[in-house]
Amino acid sequence: MPGPESTITATAAGTFTLGDLTVTRMGFGSMRLTVSRDVERALTVLRRAAELGVNHVDTAAFYVSPGGILEGDPGPPRYATELIREALAPYDDLVITTKVGPGIREDGTFYQASTADDLRRQVEENLRRLGVDRLDVVNLRIIKKAGKDSVAERFEALARMREEGLVRHLGLSNVRLDHLVEAQRIAPVVCVQNSYALDNQQDAPLLRACGQRGIAFVPFFAIAGSGREKGPVSSHAPGLSQVARAHGVTEQQVRLAWTLHQGRHVLAIPGTGNPDHLDENIAAAAIRLSQEELAILT
């Protein structure tokens, strides 16, 4: 990695295309911006990400702070989409990927969109809060169930909105390979976003299938792994700590580097509300792991 006197940017990991949109493989996930109500800190993180060359920001209409939502919690809710607009609009070369499917009601409870009208309302909400006329990428996020189920009806609804010009490109989130095959019969799919990490490789066949099809595979919880929404785990496998020490970096940075080494079509969207952690995450774009180190990790 470059010395401490140099600034590592997201471009160190290279780029990939989502349809006709070129994005940095090291991106930013906005979910954790809503964990606290420190708006200025959140805006600082977003602007710093842009300064560090990130041009791929992941979000969703249901990423919202607890303020004004939970009983006894004062203040209006803050939506990640609104924070992105305040910090980064006009967006210039920025590509914003959002999700529809899960929704949040005024009382703070979540629901899963099941009709075309539900999905249209969520798309329109994203358009309004981001302040745009067309969304770059919309992922259909589903609740993945065991057994046979279909995404056809919901994906067809999004495909119609794409034809209307409300959406530029479509993707999928939290899906199986058969969902991807089904969706591709309806409209082009530019990305698949699933939980995937060093200690959670159940979707390795789906990752490989995306590479074969020229589709971006975008892991979430790449750092948190099995910790998921709770955040990064505090204990690490000996091999992970060994590789981290060899590079003089943190175990979390090695997790991100490992993610980017899983294929040129694999993107990273680590999220944080901490400016210092942001710099560390972006710096992971420059870590190059040897085949021996990858074998140790795997």
* Residue 3, in any domain of the structure: no
Residue type, 210: C
Q: What does the alpha-carbon distance between residue 190 and residue 182 come to, in Å, rounded to a whole number? A: 14
Q: What does the alpha-carbon distance between residue 287 and residue 298 come to, in Å, rounded to a whole number? A: 17
Whether residue 63 lies in the annotated active site: yes
- Please report the pLDDT score of residue 272 as a whole number: 94
- Please report the pLDDT score of residue 160 as a whole number: 98
Residue type, 238: P
Distances 276 to 35, 94, 242, 296 between C-alpha atoms, Å: 17, 22, 23, 28
* Residue 23, in any domain of the structure: yes
- Please report the pLDDT score of residue 234 as a whole number: 54
* Residue 117, in any domain of the structure: yes
Q: What is the DSSP annotation of 147-166? A: S----HHHHHHHHHHHHHTS
* Residue 201, in any domain of the structure: yes
- Please report the pLDDT score of residue 52 as a whole number: 97
* Residue 96, in any domain of the structure: yes
Which CATH number characterizes residue 288's domain?
A: 3.20.20.100
Query: Which residues of the chain are under the pLDDT cut of 50?
Result: 1-5, 68-71
* Residue 4, in any domain of the structure: no
Backbone angles phi, psi at 92, to 5 degrees: 50, -115
- Please report the pLDDT score of residue 99 as a whole number: 97
Catalytic residue, candidates 63, 79, 111, 196 = 63
- Please report the pLDDT score of residue 44 as a whole number: 96
- Please report the pLDDT score of residue 37 as a whole number: 78
Buried-state track 190-220, b at ≥16 Cβ within 10 A, e below 16: bbbbbbbbbebeebeebbebbbeeebbbbbb
- Please report the pLDDT score of residue 69 as a whole number: 45
DSSP state of 52: T
Q: Which burial class, exposed, middle or buried, applies to 288 when counting CB atoms under 10 A from its CB (0-12, 13-18, 19+)?
A: exposed
Query: Residue 191 is encoded by which pair of tokens?
Result: 């990305």
Domain count, the chain: 1
Q: Which domain holds residue 137?
A: 10-297
**Tens of pLDDT along 124-140?**
999 999 999 999 999 99
Identify the sign of the CA torsion 279, 280, 285, 288.
positive
Tell me the Ramachandran region of residue 228: left when phi exceeds 0, alpha when psi lies from -120 to 50, beta otherwise.
Answer: left
* Residue 2, in any domain of the structure: no
* Residue 269, in any domain of the structure: yes
Q: What does the alpha-carbon distance between residue 290 and residue 220 come to, in Å, rounded to a whole number? A: 24
For residue 179, what are the contacts with CB-CB under 8 A and spacing of at least 6? 142, 151, 172
Residue with tokens 């703070």: 108
- Give the global pTM: 0.92
Biggest CA-to-CA distance, the chain: 54
